[in-house]
């Protein structure tokens, strides 16, 4: 399959009827995707790597062109990109703008999105002052990924000549009537031709809402910028208000410091409470351990009482030894014999022949034998 046929199949198609604008963009997309071997990147064309060009920077297109109907565009049978135009002021470019442009880009399978931006002179005369200048608004839009081309100094009302000049197939905008001088809806004729494609607004955000927030909190933002080095002249603030805001800034700094000190104090107190609980728990554990050891040592059956009883017994025995053994009982035979023998000896020694002996004298030899 050739590169041209591959591009046709992918959706960002080139054909002999296409203008040079799409040729340039398709070549850029093709070069970006040639180095990526992925199914995702084959199906999803990459975002632009350069800002969107201005219409006067692009070469003129000399190829014949015919506007397509809505049915033809939605059928997917058209071989060229569908050119959709979306206009606006786009002051303070925000998410609501980006979402509207995203919807316009996705109206058809292959959309070439042209965005027209009104100049400062036209906007100030028709609607009022803007926050950003026209140059800033142009530059902000150039970096939106959905935009393929930007028209500077766009008209307030799209005429047939303007639409033909830029080869516009459809115009995208929200469906709320947009009044202007001499008409209640500037898109009335476009809607009658069947060229209008409605997009949905994003609730909760708009340029007017952002400006309202700034005006509502004017003092806060003025004090913020004064604190960041802007002068009262830069902010168009009087001398009295400048001093008032300066005092308020100092008061706020003191309040913030007090809040930080209070926060740190609370944190210190929480840390102390946590540590105190931990210390109390450890103290209770140590107390139980000490009491257990004390009772084990000094209790009724403790080590100290056991030692005292045993020591007392040993000391008592050392100071009061046991008495000598007593004589044998008189009725013992051995005792009788012993007594009789001693009695005989006493009688012999006393010379009393009738006292249990016959007056026998023991010689020295008998004594030695005994």
Domains contained in the chain, CATH given = 70-204 (3.40.50.620), 208-263+270-297 (no CATH)
The residue-averaged pLDDT of 118-124 equals 96
Token couple for 162: 């303007």
Q: What is the mean pLDDT of the chain?
A: 78
Q: pLDDT digits over 1-42, tens only?
A: 444 344 444 443 334 444 444 455 455 555 555 544 444 445
130, 125, 117, 150: which is closest to 51 by C-alpha? 150
Given a cut of 90, whether residue 247 has pLDDT beyond it is: no
pLDDT of residue 45: 61
Q: Pull the structure tokens for residue 281.
A: 């728990």
Do 115 and 217 form a contact (C-beta atoms < 8 A)? no
Give 65-112 pLDDT, tens digit per residue.
899 999 999 988 898 999 999 999 999 999 999 999 999 999 998 999
pLDDT band at 44 (very low <50, low <70, confident <90, very high): low
Q: Which residue has the higher pLDDT, 130 or 109?
A: 130
| Band of residue 365 on the pLDDT scale cut at 50, 70, 90 | very low
Are 90 and 125 contacting, i.e. CB atoms less than 8 angstroms apart? no
Residue 134 has pLDDT above 90, yes or no: yes
Residue 312 has pLDDT above 90, yes or no: no
- Token pair of 82, please? 């569908």
Burial 16-47 (b: 16+ CB within 10 A, else e): eebbebbeebbeebbeebeeeeeeeeeeebee
Query: Which percentage of the chain shows pLDDT scores above 70?
Result: 72
Helix, strand or coil, per DSSP, at residue 54:
strand
pLDDT in tens, 279-306: 788 888 888 888 877 777 776 676 767 7
Helices (H) and strands (E) in the chain, counts: 15, 5
């Amino acid at each position: 399959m050739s590169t041209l046929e591959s591009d046709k199949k992918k959706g960002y198609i080139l054909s002999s009827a296409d203008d040079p604008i799409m040729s340039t963009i398709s070549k850029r997309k093709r070069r970006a995707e040639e180095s990526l071997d992925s199914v995702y990147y084959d199906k999803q064309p990459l975002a632009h790597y350069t800002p969107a060009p201005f219409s006067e920077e692009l070469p003129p297109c000399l190829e014949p062109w015919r506007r397509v109907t809505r049915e033809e565009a939605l059928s997917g049978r058209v071989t060229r990109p569908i050119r959709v135009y979306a206009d606006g002021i786009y002051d303070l470019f925000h998410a609501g703008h980006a979402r509207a442009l995203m919807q316009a880009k996705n109206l058809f399978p292959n959309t070439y999105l042209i965005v027209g931006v009104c100049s400062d002179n036209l906007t100030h005369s028709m609607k009022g002052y803007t926050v950003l200048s026209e140059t800033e608004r142009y530059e902000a839009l150039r970096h939106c990924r959905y935009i393929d081309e930007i028209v500077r100094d766009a008209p307030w009302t799209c005429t047939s000549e303007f639409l033909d000049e830029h080869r516009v197939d459809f115009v995208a905008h929200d469906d709320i009537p947009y009044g202007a001088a001499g008409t209640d809806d500037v898109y009335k004729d476009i809607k009658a031709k069947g060229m209008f494609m409605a997009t949905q607004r994003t609730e909760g955000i708009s340029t007017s809402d952002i400006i309202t927030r700034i005006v509502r909190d004017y003092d806060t933002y003025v004090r913020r910028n004064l604190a960041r080095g802007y002068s009262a002249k830069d902010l168009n603030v009087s001398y009295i208000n400048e001093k008032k805001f300066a005092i308020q800034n100092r008061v706020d700094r003191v309040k913030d410091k007090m809040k930080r000190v209070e926060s740190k104090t609370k944190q210190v107190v929480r840390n102390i409470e946590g540590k105190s609980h931990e210390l109390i728990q450890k103290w209770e554990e140590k107390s139980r351990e000490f009491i257990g050891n004390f009772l084990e040592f000094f209790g009724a059956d403790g080590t100290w009482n056991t030692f005292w009883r045993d020591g007392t017994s040993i000391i008592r025995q050392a100071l009061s030894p046991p008495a000598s053994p007593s004589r044998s009982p008189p009725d013992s035979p051995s005792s009788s014999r012993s007594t009789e023998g001693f009695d005989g000896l006493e009688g012999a020694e006393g010379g009393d022949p009738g006292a249990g002996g016959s007056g026998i004298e023991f010689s020295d030899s008998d004594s030695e034998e005994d």
